Amino acid sequence: PASLAAAPPEQQKQILGERLFPLIHALEPMLAGKITGMLLEMDNGELLNLLESPEALSAKIKEAMGVLQVHQQAAEEGAGDVGTVAN
């Protein structure tokens, strides 16, 4: 999109985030904000690809969900258990 290309980099991130959020929200409404924030750490070129490819976006959302679940489980198990492996 021409408006995106003309925008300064930090504004590009905001535009991309505003376009990604509703797509992510449709799939993961509870965590859309968190997932959008995670994805915005990616390169702008990669983000454009996600906007153009629902399959790629869905895969990235699943990847982000996996990361969030690992962090959630670690948080629930308590800080005292960090570094231990359950069998």
What's the pLDDT tens digit per position in 34-63? 999 999 999 999 999 999 999 999 999 999
Cα 35–Cα 40–Cα 44 angle in degrees, nearest 5: 145
pTM of the complete model = 0.80
Contact 69, 76 (CB under 8 A): no
pLDDT surpassing 60 at residue 11 = yes
Following DSSP, what letter does each residue of 16-76 receive, concatenated? HHHHHHHHHHHH-GGGHHHHHHHHTTS-HHHHHHHHH-HHHHHHHHHHHHHHHHHHHHHHH
Q: What is the dihedral of CA 30, 36, 33, 4, to 10 degrees?
A: -130
